[in-house]
């Protein structure tokens, strides 16, 4: 069965969903409105700057990190949402919990070039993302923060950059048009679905 993903902000209790496609490898590309909107929200001065952003799959309850992130979300749940969750909903998956939160609209505009992880002191330059299959570039934000990848159809199953998939899940992120944290380690994930890249 196919696994659907949404982009969840674990600090602000907001989400972004793709306009049409919901499987990770259907919308996790540079130029797609959902990951590009998350990148814009992570810019300095914007609402998601320096917050935890994670691509949460609806089969994420099979992921080791899910229980920890779900517990934190429930402990920090804003009061206005406590009444929405019914008794017994404590066992609801993180994907299910974020289904009740407001969905951010896609406003468009230029997407930033750099993505920073402030926990691991790493960054990604989107210009490093390799093209494949006629010019597509996989958006690193989705795969670096994926929770539940590998549990359903439409997930990322390539060996290219596999060691990085989910490695930023739950970390504090920001983005910028310029290299504001040049002292951080630059990582090149080389995400493609082609063999031998």
Domains of the chain: which residue ranges? 5-186
Which pLDDT tens digit goes with each residue over 63-102?
778 888 888 888 888 888 777 776 555 557 788 888 888 8
Residue whose tokens read 């934000």: 141
Distances, alpha carbon 72 to alpha carbons 66, 84, 90, 145, 179, in Å: 10, 17, 11, 17, 31
Full DSSP string of 42-90: TSTTSTTTTEEEEEEETTGGGSHHHHHHHHHHHHT--HHHHTTSPTTGG
CB burial of residue 125 (10 Å; 0-12, 13-18, 19+):
middle
Please answer whether residues 134 and 169 qualify as being in contact, where contact means their C-beta atoms are separated by less than 8 angstroms: no
Distances, alpha carbon 27 to alpha carbons 88, 156, 180, in Å: 33, 12, 28
Specify the range with the lowest mean pLDDT, choosing from 5-19, 78-92, 93-107, 110-124. 78-92
Which pLDDT tens digit goes with each residue over 156-175?
999 999 999 999 999 999 99
Predicted local distance difference test score (pLDDT) of residue 89: 54
Contacts of 23 (CB under 8 A, 6+ apart): 2, 3, 4, 5, 152, 153, 154, 155
Over the range 145-164, which residues count as b (16 or more CB within 10 Å of their CB) and which as e? bbbbbbbbebbbebebbbeb
Predicted local distance difference test score (pLDDT) of residue 90: 53
Average pLDDT for the chain: 89
pTM of the model: 0.90
Predicted local distance difference test score (pLDDT) of residue 86: 61
């Amino acid at each position: 069965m196919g696994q659907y993903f949404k982009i969840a902000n674990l600090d602000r209790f907001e989400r972004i969903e793709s306009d049409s496609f919901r499987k990770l490898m259907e919308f996790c590309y540079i130029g797609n409105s959902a990951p590009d909107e998350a990148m814009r929200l992570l810019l300095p001065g914007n609402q998601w700057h320096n917050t935890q952003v994670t691509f949460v799959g609806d089969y994420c309850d099979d992921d080791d990190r899910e229980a920890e992130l779900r517990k934190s979300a429930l402990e920090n749940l804003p009061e206005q949402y406590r009444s929405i969750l019914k008794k017994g909903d404590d066992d609801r998956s993180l994907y299910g919990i974020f289904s009740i939160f407001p969905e951010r609209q896609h406003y468009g505009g230029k997407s930033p070039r750099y993505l920073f992880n402030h926990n691991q002191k790493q960054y990604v330059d989107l210009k490093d993302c390799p093209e494949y299959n006629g010019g597509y570039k996989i958006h690193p934000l989705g795969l670096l923060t994926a929770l539940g990848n590998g549990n359903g159809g439409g997930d990322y199953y390539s060996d290219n950059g596999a060691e990085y998939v989910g490695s930023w899940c739950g970390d504090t992120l920001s983005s910028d048009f310029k290299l504001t944290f040049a002292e951080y380690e630059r990582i090149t994930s080389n995400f493609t679905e082609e063999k031998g890249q």
